[in-house]
Amino acid sequence: DTVFLNGDYVAKANAKISVLDRGFLFADGVYEVIPVYRGKPFRVKEHLNRLFDSLRQINLSSPYSESQWLEIITRVIVKNLNVHGDNQSIYLQVTRGIDSDRQHTVSGPLPATVLVMASKLTTGESTLKGEKATLLEDIRWLHCDIKSIALLANTLLVNQAKANGFDEAILHRQQWLTEGASSNVFLVNNGQVLTPPKSQYILGGITRDLIIELCQASGLEVCQRRVHIKELLDADEVWICSSTREISPIIAIDDKIIGSGRIGATTRRMAAALQAFKSELL
Ligand code: PMP
């Protein structure tokens, strides 16, 4: 199990960072998760563009160019083929680096700490399974468009959901749907596909973008607008999506059954379109 850490390829168990790393002390950094199918990183340019955007928003310059990132990612994939197989999930993290002491104010530009590691990806081949979500208040900050490593609210929310027997926390701000704790949310109502627009309240998911493209390609317009939680609970179909979950049907939210309580036709159609899109690239 090999990871890339600050220019070196080392065994995961031997990869160590300083206690003075600002990522460790302040969660001062950003990340990406890139799915890998049959050894190829999926939508990697889109993921790197989002990384560059997150870095820009926290005033960090990218330690590597796009082609350098691609080379690092490819090498990590190749080095882990025998450990994780050819469907992997690549985790990439950049922090503001190691300062001289623990101080909020950064002492000056520091060399960034860069980690790229792989794990096994298990989605894709299996059949769709209906999942249950719980609706919780979105207690996160107001820059959810930055893929920040500060995930305390997200982890508290999803762990609360899991402890109560749910698969995901779907979040709202004052009754307006934002997204899942680690996913974006779509709903189908009277034949129309809806999802909240990109804003500071949600992460612009790479899977979300792709699903919108795939809907349009199959003649389904996606309406990107504010969604009230009443509409969500009254929807015919709901699904959540992310790079590692792809499309996951939501068949109940708390004690409310969504639609018929079974996986809807549009959900199945878009999940099939996503699998077809993936296999065309392989
Ligand atoms: N929103 C949040 C809060 C997330 O953590 C994720 C997954 N990282 C997503 C949405 C989905 O994004 P993507 O499709 O790029 O994985």
Q: Say which CATH number the domain at 194 has.
A: 3.20.10.10
Give yes or no: residues 272 and 138 share one domain. Answer: yes
Please give the structure tokens belonging to residue 153.
Answer: 């609210």
pLDDT band at 32 (very low <50, low <70, confident <90, very high): very high
pLDDT over 90 at 111, yes or no: yes
- Which of these, 155, 87, 149, 81, lies nearest to 113 by C-alpha position? 149
- Does 125 map to a domain? no
pLDDT band at 127 (very low <50, low <70, confident <90, very high): confident
Give yes or no: residues 94 and 180 share one domain. Answer: no
CA of residue 202 to ligand 1 center, whole Å: 9
pLDDT band at 281 (very low <50, low <70, confident <90, very high): confident
Task: Write down which residue in 73, 91, 120 finishes a domain.
Answer: 120
262 contacts: CB under 8 Å, gap ≥ 6: 130, 251
Give yes or no: residues 215 and 158 share one domain. Answer: yes
pLDDT over 90 at 199, yes or no: yes
* ipTM surpasses cut 0.90: yes
Give yes or no: residues 175 and 231 share one domain. Answer: yes
Query: Annotated catalytic, 256?
Result: no
CATH (domain of 27): 3.30.470.10
pLDDT over 80 at 125, yes or no: no
pLDDT over 80 at 135, yes or no: yes
Please give the structure tokens belonging to residue 124.
Answer: 């894709």
Write out the residue range of the structural domain in which residue 155 sits. 131-281
- Does 126 map to a domain? no
Spell out where the chain has E strands: 2-5, 8-11, 29-37, 40-41, 88-95, 113-120, 131-137, 168-173, 176-180, 184-189, 192-195, 222-224, 237-242, 246-253, 256-257
Angle at 146 between CA 21 and CA 10, to 5 degrees: 40
CB 166 within 8 A of CB 133: yes
Any residues with Cβ below 6 Å from ligand 1, and which?
33, 179, 182-184, 203, 205-208, 242-243
- Does 156 map to a domain? yes
Euclidean distance between CA atoms 63 and 110, whole angstroms: 11
Task: Write down which residue in 73, 94, 120 finishes a domain.
Answer: 120
Rounded to two decimals, what is the model's pTM? 0.97
Atom of ligand 1 nearest to the CA of 206: 15
Q: Give the pLDDT confidence score for residue 100 in this predicted structure.
A: 96
- Atom 10 in ligand 1: residue holding the nearest Cα: 183
Q: Which position among 147, 162, 230, 278 bears the catalytic label?
A: 147
Give yes or no: residues 16 and 114 share one domain. Answer: yes
Please give the structure tokens belonging to residue 212.
Answer: 């919108």
CA of residue 36 to ligand 1 center, whole Å: 16
Atom of ligand 1 nearest to the CA of 208: 14
Q: Give the pLDDT confidence score for residue 124 in this predicted structure.
A: 66
Give yes or no: residues 13 and 94 share one domain. Answer: yes
CB 208 within 8 A of CB 270: no
pLDDT over 70 at 268, yes or no: yes
pLDDT over 70 at 126, yes or no: no
Task: Write down which residue in 87, 120, 153 finishes a domain.
Answer: 120
pLDDT over 80 at 228, yes or no: yes
Give yes or no: residues 114 and 170 share one domain. Answer: no
pLDDT over 90 at 176, yes or no: yes
List pLDDT tens digits, range 239-260: 999 999 999 999 999 999 999 9
- Number of compact structural domains in the chain: 2
CA of residue 242 to ligand 1 center, whole Å: 5
